[in-house]
Structure 1
Amino acid sequence: MTIHHETHGHGVPLLLGFPLMASAWPGDPELAVRKGYLDRLTDRYRVLVVDYPNLAPGIGKSDPIPASELTADRVCSDLLAVASAAGFDRFAFWGFSWGGVVGLQLACRTNRLTALVCGGWPPLGGPYGDMLGITRRMAAAPEVPVRTDQFVTFYESVQGWPEADAVERIACPRMTFTGSADEMDYPGEVKLRIAATLRERRRELERLGWRVTEIPGRDHGVFTDPATVVPVVREFLDSAT
């Protein structure tokens, strides 16, 4: 299986995970968002970006993975293999939303991370059950343009994950952030309270050594604004790596 990836810059290894991609994605057809990240990182970091997962036909250059195989174990194994192929022995990982979920899974499965940035997802109190229901409904809706069925497999694989024990064992420097207005409504009266959950668990996370940051007035789309996000996260990464 081919997983397309690219590296940019020189210096400290940093894997910039989903939703940033090596190739264009629907929300960033001109790669402007990706460029905004790279322009602000590559003076100090060797940044690895990956087309993973395959979101839909024609998006990215990686081979598709059968939907039934995209478990958390598979995702972590694939990303570690890509990091090795890029010459990254140890590296920092920065993901947002589903990428933040993946970062937690990676940090609990390997000692290769030098730092972890989990954006747009609370490391404690994560709504894994809600996401399984949401992705199942989206996978059953013919008008949804992305391969949501693979995310059903992923969220099925993390049901029952011992979150509290696993997160407590993460030893690398770690940061979590989100916009202060990060709350999303889905059909079926499901509300994802990302910012509120992070706020509720802030003291507990800080006791465990996490840096917790809210970006005032921003919602889940804050990741598309590298001018705002990168300086906040880079201050942490520069001190951690």
Structure 2
Amino acid sequence: MPEVRLHDGSTIEIEVTGTGPTLLLPVNPRPVEGPQADEMRKYGVDPALGQSLIKGLSDTFRVVAFNYEGQVLSAPKPETLTPANIVSDLLAVADSVGADRFAYYGYSWLALIGLQLATRTDRLSALIMGGFPPLDGPYKEMLRVTTATYEIACAPQAEPQQDDDEWSSVALSQDQTRQFVTLYEALQSFDDRAAQPQITCPRLCFVGSADEIHYGPKWAMCL
């Protein structure tokens, strides 16, 4: 697979499938297997979602798939995972396939980054956001959550409790968690309502009907 160099000097593999207008798709093109897949299914997550999206879209689009979330977890960027640097990474991916214009789809924090991308470049032909609101986004709340996650990662690890929440089994390092604090710190002054006139491409946003996260008792001191 071709590789693209990112802002911190690390590289990411990209997979290009289909023909037509270019769509940047920051998903894992390979299905997750084994115990991790079983854990994902417990919370309603499809371990083969990336592959399903690629198959479903590549008959109409030239899909450029790249596992950006997996890359930042395997090569953490604790001090440099800022909106500007992530946008530069996405543009580097687009440049690598010769896409002057392209659509972008992202879910959760990758949808948030799509909004940043739309305000920082005029190259977007369409923006699709899932699982994160384009208006009145929870930037302050997410800073609290990511800061709490970082503090938990820095603390001595205790044995999981029976009543722990879905995040208890996710063992992330200090650098992995710190990079998301860096991201949300940089977004505290972002006004998503004021940014809307800057977005001139077609756009679509969708969310779940019951998109809620329940935190276990160990989070009580952090949130």
TM-score (norm 2): 0.74
Q: Which residue of the partner structure matches residue 156 of structure 1?
A: 185
Residue range with higher mean Cα deviation, 137-146 or 90-99:
137-146
- Are positions 1:21 and 2:28 aligned together? yes
CA contact (8 A) 2:31 2:51 kept: no
1:46 Cα deviation (Å)? 0.7
CA contact (8 A) 2:132 2:207 kept: yes
Aligned partner of 2:60 among 44, 48, 52: 44
Aligned partner of 2:88 among 57, 60, 77: 77
Q: Which residue of the partner structure matches residue 18 of structure 2?
A: 9
Residue segments in structure 1 that go unaligned for 5+ positions in a row: 58-63, 192-241
CA contact (8 A) 1:56 1:145 kept: no
Q: Which residue of the partner structure matches residue 180 of structure 1?
A: 209
SS at match of 2:79: helix
* Aligned residues: CA RMSD: 2.4
Q: Judging changes above 3 Å, is the alpha-carbon distance between structure 1 residues 123 and 52 closer, same or farther for their aligned structure 2 residues?
A: same
The letter of the residue matching 1:176 is C
SS at match of 2:120: coil
Q: Which residue of the partner structure matches residue 165 of structure 2?
A: none
1:129 Cα deviation (Å)? 0.5
How many residues are paired up?
Answer: 183
1:182 Cα deviation (Å)? 1.2
The letter of the residue matching 1:131 is M
1:22 Cα deviation (Å)? 3.9
Q: Judging changes above 3 Å, is the alpha-carbon distance between structure 1 residues 90 and 48 closer, same or farther for their aligned structure 2 residues?
A: same
CA contact (8 A) 2:30 2:48 kept: no
Q: Which residue of the partner structure matches residue 115 of structure 1?
A: 126
CA contact (8 A) 2:29 2:51 kept: no
Partners of 1:47 and 1:189 in 2: CA distance:
43
Superposed CA deviations along residues 151-190 of structure 1, whole A, max 9, x for unmatched, are 1111111111122111232110001001111122343499
Q: Which residue of the partner structure matches residue 161 of structure 2?
A: none
Partners of 1:115 and 1:98 in 2: CA distance:
18
The letter of the residue matching 1:56 is L
- Are positions 1:88 and 2:76 aligned together? no
TM-score (norm 1): 0.69
CA contact (8 A) 2:30 2:50 kept: no
Partners of 1:32 and 1:45 in 2: CA distance:
19
SS at match of 1:93: strand
Q: Judging changes above 3 Å, is the alpha-carbon distance between structure 1 residues 153 and 36 closer, same or farther for their aligned structure 2 residues?
A: same
Q: Which residue of the partner structure matches residue 145 of structure 1?
A: 171
Superposed CA deviations along residues 20-63 of structure 1, whole A, max 9, x for unmatched, are 22455555799622221112111111111113142434xxxxxx
Residue segments in structure 2 that go unaligned for 5+ positions in a row: 1-8, 158-169
Q: Judging changes above 3 Å, is the alpha-carbon distance between structure 1 residues 40 and 190 closer, same or farther for their aligned structure 2 residues?
A: farther
1:123 Cα deviation (Å)? 0.5
Partners of 2:102 and 2:84 in 1: CA distance:
19
Q: If you compute each CA radius of gyration, which structure gives the higher value, 1 or 2?
A: 2
- Are positions 1:103 and 2:114 aligned together? yes
Aligned partner of 1:35 among 51, 65, 76: 51
